[in-house]
Amino acid sequence: MPTHLTLTEMKQFVEGHFEDFVNKRNAAVIHKNMTPDFYDHDGPGGKPTGVEGDEKMMLRMYESMPDLHLTIEDMLAENDKVMCRNIWRWTDAASGRKMQFHGFVLWRFEGDKIAERWATVTAPSEDL
């Protein structure tokens, strides 16, 4: 099923999803924002998963990175897809060092929800 959302609406949806799912630590929002058959091609450990796998991954991240914050640096939209370049930042609990990793995420929409996700991230490094 194609999406009926405009490019602007898709970008706003992704921005809101990141804000709720990452910055506001609302893992349950994934059930509202994704299609029932949502497919994450690059889930935890680089393995495919669905809604439940991504929700569990974020719950673990909330525990290990209590001040985790995502910033969208760039966002592009075309057809039924949105691409984001993000920076994820947090404080390492053991060392107190500020850490970060960078990522690119591609989202595909069906109707008014996200149906697929692809992602590539860098290894965590110190945030200088």
pLDDT attached to residue 25? 97
Does residue 2 have a pLDDT over 80? yes
DSSP 68-105: -EEEEEEEEEETTEEEEEEEEEEE-TTT--EEEEEEEE
What is the structure's pLDDT at 27? 97
Give the model's pLDDT for residue 41.
Answer: 98
Q: Please state the φ and ψ torsions of residue 82, each to the nearest 5 degrees.
A: -130, 135
pLDDT digits (tens, 9 = 90+) for 14-32: 999 999 999 999 999 999 9
pLDDT for the residue numbered 92: 92
Q: Where are the domains of the chain?
A: 7-126
User: Tell me, what's the pLDDT at 69?
Assistant: 98
Residue 48 corresponds to which tokens in the numbers above?
């495919």
Residue range 29-53: average pLDDT? Answer: 97
Q: How far apart are alpha carbons 48 and 78 in whole angstroms? A: 24
Q: What is the dihedral of CA 44, 48, 49, 55, to 10 degrees?
A: 30
Out of 3.10.450.50, 3.40.50.150, 2.30.110.10, 1.10.540.10, the CATH code matching 7-126 is 3.10.450.50
Q: What's the rounded Cα separation, in Å, for the pair 44 and 77?
A: 25
Question: What is the structure's pLDDT at 94?
Answer: 87
At residue 128, does pLDDT exceed 80?
Answer: no
**Per-residue pLDDT reduced to its tens digit, 66-115:** 999 999 999 999 999 999 999 999 999 889 999 999 999 999 999 999 99
Q: Look up residue 59 and give its two tokens.
A: 């719950």
